[in-house]
Amino acid sequence: MKLARSDDDGLVRAGASWLRSVQNATGGFGETCASYDIQRRRPGTSTPSQTAWALIGLLVDCAHEDDPAIELAVEYLLDSQNASGNRG
């Protein structure tokens, strides 16, 4: 399935590129609350919620169908839940 894009394709690609650059080694994404104090991203422990938001951003960039960043993020989310689907 191909998502429709606007004239801002370059911005979408730039955003997805930035997300790839800040992905944690775990495959997830995270930052600390200090990011808000200094108005700049402060890396932090991966969390399922921040990983899900980042994954949505990566999925918008359909130019990379076999994107390892997407695969790593999905693996992180799957590994972060228990059998009932809760965080485990």
0.85 exceeded by pTM:
no
Considering just the CA atoms, what is the radius of gyration of the chain in Å?
14
> In this predicted structure, what is the pLDDT of residue 1?
47
Do residues 58 and 22 lie in contact, with contact meaning Cβ atoms separated by under 8 Å?
A: no
Alpha-carbon torsion (27, 66, 21, 52), positive or negative: negative
Q: Which residues in the chain come in under a pLDDT of 70?
A: 1-8, 34-41, 62-65, 85, 88
